[in-house]
């Protein structure tokens, strides 16, 4: 694709504020909608008069489709341009959010949320691609830092915002809040990103597209259903193996195509591949925290959802604050050292949280959460930029799509597996102690397991080359 030179300069000057606003707001919305609805589960149970297993699909359907559609982002940016894909996705996202507030049937609501998740799948990959294709190198770290801060704010303040809207307004406003923000982001991208002439006339590989959609759905659903079926169920293994087979067919077709839906050739770059693995491990470890903390604060300590959300705002500040510190360090010291330090913060914080007991003070828990969340903020930009900078500019769209696909797969896999593990460990401890203490011990185990996953990231970071960021500078 090509672009007008004068309009490229507009991104660097007058359009930069609008571009930053679009990236920040879109990053916030994509993750706000994946976590903010959890706090409304009791409300949805009353409104739609159904069971918990059905209500959960309001969240699962959204997250599932984000994982399903993520690998196609690279193809569609080549086909209709990154700017157009971002803008169209945000407009569609706004329409789905508007419709969600008018749903009075649970199955219609789930259908709308599935469509919204499919559109949300393009937001983060497009944002990252725009940064690497249109933002000058000396400004890239700033844009990535702001994007990371916005994505941290979504899960951090989402439950608080939802709690306030549920308490003082109504549940519909949780969805309608998205509409003006998404429409503004779409307009801002059109004003700030230069026109792109898309030259590719390649037709979509419909068989490959069907394989990746069906394969990803089956793979993710198999682990979501494992809680009901068990890991020894023939249905679980059939769904898992068929899903993996279809994904393998998709990968093979992509590897033998001159214009693949997703270019797996980027994984030949060792530095990029290591950062993909680290990103996936971080996603596996971090997605567990909101889940287990909800149980700890509400079921064990008896706090309200609103108060639990307020408590989590404290470590969220450390996550948001870690991002600009990472940017400041990135211009001065070896990026490998920053990444290694961030992984150590995450690993040590997780292992220390694995020592919580029923007598542990809230100060101890919040302090180590802050320690852990600071590692999250410190890790985001350096890891992303290290991997993406190792790729040629023209492959940035496929690189960002691949990162997000692996992260979404890791998220779903770990949440399903560790939910099962939490239940199994609770049942094991319940044989020798009361239920509350058994649940506490099981939560400790989950934190320890997540710490061990993050320890893998510490080891992998040692294999990164030194001074990549300083050489680029």
Average pLDDT over residues 262-267: 83
| 197 DSSP assignment | E
Assess contact for 384 and 275: CB atoms under 8 A: yes
**Contact at 8 Å (CB) between 280 and 406?**
yes
User: Rounded mean pLDDT of 132-137?
Assistant: 76
pTM of the predicted model as reported, rounded to 2 decimal places: 0.74
Domain-terminating residue out of 184, 202, 220: 202
pLDDT at site 382: 85
Tokens of 406: 């692996």
Lowest-confidence region among 108-112, 208-212, 257-261? 257-261
- Pick the last residue of a domain from 217, 238, 257: 257
**What's the pLDDT tens digit per position in 178-233?**
999 999 999 988 888 876 655 555 677 788 888 888 888 888 778 777 767 777 88
Residue 27 and residue 127 in contact, taking contact as beta carbons nearer than 8 Å: yes
Q: What is the distance of C-alpha 314 from the center of its chain?
A: 21
Are 74 and 176 in a shared domain? yes
How many separate helices (H) and strands (E) can be counted in the chain? 22, 2
Structure tokens at 446: 């989950």
Task: Name which of 169, 168, 194, 178 is nearest 3 in CA terms.
Answer: 194
**Least confident stretch, 8-12, 230-234, 238-242, 393-397:** 8-12
Q: What is the pLDDT of residues 400-433, one digit of tens each?
A: 878 888 887 787 677 667 777 887 888 899 888 8
Both 26 and 65 in one domain: the answer is: yes
Residues 156, 235, single domain; the answer is: no
Is residue 5 very low, low, confident or very high in pLDDT (cuts 50, 70, 90)?
very low
Domain count, the chain: 3
pLDDT for 8 equals 42
Q: Which range among 77-81, 166-170, 464-468 shows the weakest confidence by mean pLDDT?
A: 464-468
Given the DSSP bridges, would you call strands 196-197 and 2-3 parallel, antiparallel or unpaired? Answer: antiparallel
Share of the chain above pLDDT 70, in %: 88
Considering only residues 385 and 351, tell me which one the structure prediction assigns the higher pLDDT: 351
Residue that terminates a domain, selected from 182, 202, 222: 202
| Shared domain check, 143 and 109 | yes
If pLDDT is split at 50, 70 and 90, which confidence band does 11 have? very low
Is the pLDDT at 237 greater than 60? The verdict is yes
Facing residues of 197 across strands?
A: 2
Mean pLDDT throughout 351-358? 90
| Structure tokens given for 233 | 């169920």
Cα four-point dihedral sign 385, 387, 388, 393: positive
pLDDT digit string, tens, across residues 150-161: 776 666 677 677
**Residues 305 and 439 reside in one and the same domain:** yes
| 12 pLDDT tier (thresholds 50, 70, 90) | very low
Closest by alpha carbon to 64, among 302, 416, 473?
416
The angle formed by the CA atoms of residues 466, 472 and 473, to the nearest 5 degrees, is: 110
pLDDT of residue 3: 43
Q: What is the CA radius of gyration of the chain?
A: 22
Of the candidates 319, 248, 215, 278, the residue with the CA atom closest to the CA atom of residue 407: 278
* Residue 43 sits in the same domain as residue 33: yes
The average confidence (pLDDT) of the chain is 81
Question: Which residue in the block uniquely carries the two structure tokens 């050739």?
Answer: 265
pLDDT digits (tens, 9 = 90+) for 364-379: 999 999 998 898 888 8
Residue 375: name the closest of 255, 465, 473, 461 by CA. Answer: 461
Same domain, 212 and 192: no
How many Cβ atoms from other residues are within 10 Å of residue 440's Cβ?
A: 21
| Domain match, 198 and 208 both | no
Tell me: do 302 and 232 sit in the same domain.
no
**Domain match, 231 and 329 both:** no
Domain that holds residue 58: 1-202
HSE at residue 278, side-chain half, CA atoms within 13 A, is 32
Cα 257 from chain centre = 29
Domain CATH code at residue 341: 1.20.1250.20
104: tokens are 């009075």
The DSSP secondary structure of 23-62, one letter per residue, reads: HHHHHHHHHHHHHGGGGGHHHHHHHHT--HHHHTHHHHHH
Helix (H, G, I), strand (E, B) or coil at 158: helix
End-to-end CA distance of the chain: 26
Degrees to nearest 5, angle at CA 312 with 307 and 318:
150
Q: What is the pLDDT of residue 7?
A: 42
DSSP structure class, residue 147: H
172 vs 1, residue with greater confidence: 172
Q: Which among 127, 118, 98 has a CA at the least distance from the CA of 185? A: 127
- Specify the 3-state DSSP secondary structure of 254: helix
Same structural domain, 18 and 81 = yes
Per-residue confidence (pLDDT) for residue 15, from 0 to 100: 60
- Whether 30 has a pLDDT exceeding 80, the answer reads no
Question: 297-315, pLDDT tens digit by residue?
Answer: 877 888 776 677 678 778 8
Q: Is the domain of 325 the same as that of 465?
A: yes
């Amino acid at each position: 694709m090509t672009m007008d030179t004068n309009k490229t300069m507009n991104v660097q000057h007058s359009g930069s504020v609008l571009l930053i606003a679009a990236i920040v707001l879109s990053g916030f919305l994509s993750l706000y909608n994946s976590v903010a609805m959890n706090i409304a589960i009791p409300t949805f149970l009353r409104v739609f008069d159904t069971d918990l297993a059905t209500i959960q699909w309001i969240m699962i359907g959204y997250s599932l489709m984000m994982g399903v559609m993520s690998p196609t982002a690279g193809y569609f940016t080549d086909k209709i341009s990154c700017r157009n894909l971002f803008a169209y996705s945000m407009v569609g996202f706004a329409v789905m959010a508007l419709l969600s507030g008018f749903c009075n049937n649970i199955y219609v609501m789930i259908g709308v949320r599935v469509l919204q998740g499919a559109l949300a799948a393009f937001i983060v990959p497009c944002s990252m691609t725009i940064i690497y294709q249109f933002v000058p190198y000396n400004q890239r770290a700033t844009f990535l830092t702001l994007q990371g801060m916005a994505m941290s704010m979504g899960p951090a303040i989402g439950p608080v915002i939802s709690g306030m809207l549920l308490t003082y307004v109504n549940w519909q406003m949780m969805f309608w809040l998205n509409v003006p923000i998404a429409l503004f982001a779409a307009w801002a991208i059109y004003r700030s990103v230069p026109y792109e002439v898309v030259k590719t006339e390649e037709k979509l590989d419909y068989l490959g597209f069907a394989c990746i959609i069906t394969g990803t759905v089956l793979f993710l659903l198999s682990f979501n259903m494992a809680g009901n079926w068990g890991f020894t169920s023939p249905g679980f293994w059939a769904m898992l193996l068929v899903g993996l087979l279809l994904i393998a067919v998709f990968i093979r077709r992509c590897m033998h195509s001159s214009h693949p839906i997703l270019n797996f050739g980027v994984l030949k770059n060792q530095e990029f591949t290591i950062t993909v693995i680290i990103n996936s491990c971080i996603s596996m470890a971090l997605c567990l925290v909101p889940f287990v903390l909800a149980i700890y604060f509400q079921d064990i300590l008896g706090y309200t959802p609103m108060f639990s959300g307020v408590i989590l705002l404290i470590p969220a500040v450390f996550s948001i604050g870690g991002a600009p510190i990472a940017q400041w360090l990135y211009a001065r010291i070896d990026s490998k050292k920053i990444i290694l330090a961030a992984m150590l913060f995450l690993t040590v914080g997780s292992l220390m949280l694995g020592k919580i007991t029923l007598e542990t003070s809230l100060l101890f828990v919040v302090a180590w959460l802050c320690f852990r969340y600071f590692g999250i903020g410190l890790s985001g930009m350096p890891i992303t930029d290290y991997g993406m900078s190792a790729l040629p500019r023209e492959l940035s769209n496929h690189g960002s799509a691949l990162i997000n696909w692996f992260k979404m797969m890791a998220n779903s896999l770990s949440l399903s597996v560790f939910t099962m593990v939490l239940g199994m460990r609770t049942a094991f401890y319940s044989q020798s102690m009361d239920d509350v203490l058994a649940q506490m011990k099981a939560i400790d185990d989950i934190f320890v397991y997540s710490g061990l996953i993050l320890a893998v990231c510490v080891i992998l970071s040692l294999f990164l080359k030194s001074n990549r960021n300083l050489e680029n500078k």
